[in-house]
Structure 1
Amino acid sequence: MHEMGITQSLLNIALDHAQRANATRINGLTIVVGELSSVVDDSVQFYWDFISQGTIAEKATLNFKRIPAAARCTDCGHTAPLDRETYACPACGSGSLAIVAGEEFFLESIDVDLAASSPAPEQKETSHA
Structure 2
Amino acid sequence: MHELSITQSILKISLEAASQQGATRIRAIRLRMGPFSGVVPECVQMYLDVLAKGTRAEGAKIEVETVPLKVLCRDCGRESEITRERIQCPFCGSIQLKRLSGNEFMVDSLEVD
1:49–1:74 Cα change, 3 Å: same
How far, CA to CA, are the matches of 2:79 and 2:94 in structure 1? 12
Q: Name the amino acid aligned to 2:24.
A: T
Taking a change above 3 Å as real, the CA distance of residues 43 and 77 of structure 1, as seen in their structure-2 partners, is same
Which protein has the larger Cα radius of gyration, Structure 1 or Structure 2?
1
State the partner residue of 2:43: 43
1:86 Cα deviation (Å)?
5.8
Alignment of 1:63 onto 2:63: yes
Of all paired residues, the percent bearing the same amino acid is 42
Cα RMSD for the two superposed structures: 1.6
- List aligned pairs for 1:1-129, cutoff 5 A: 1-82=1-82, 84=84, 87-113=87-113
| Unpaired stretches in structure 2, ≥5 consecutive residues | none
SS of the equivalent of 1:23 reads: coil
User: Any gaps of 5 or more consecutive residues in structure 1?
Assistant: 114-129
Partners of 1:19 and 1:86 lie apart in 2 by 43
Give the secondary-structure state (helix, strand or coil) at the position aligned to 2:24: strand
Alpha-carbon displacement from aligned partner over 1:88-125 (angstroms, at most 9, x marks no partner): 32223333211122211101101111xxxxxxxxxxxx
* 1:56–1:81 Cα change, 3 Å: same
Letter in 2 for 1:7: T
- With normalisation by structure 1, the TM-score equals 0.79
Q: How many residues align?
A: 113
The secondary structure found in structure 2 opposite 1:101 is coil
Residue 36 of structure 1 aligns to a residue whose secondary structure is coil
Letter in 2 for 1:25: R
TM-score, length of structure 2 as denominator length: 0.89
Structure 1: distance between partners of 2:67 and 2:61? 19
CA distance in 1, matches of 2:79, 2:52: 40
CA distance in 2, matches of 1:72, 1:17: 36
Tell whether the 8 Å contact from 2:41 to 2:62 is kept in structure 1 after alignment.
no
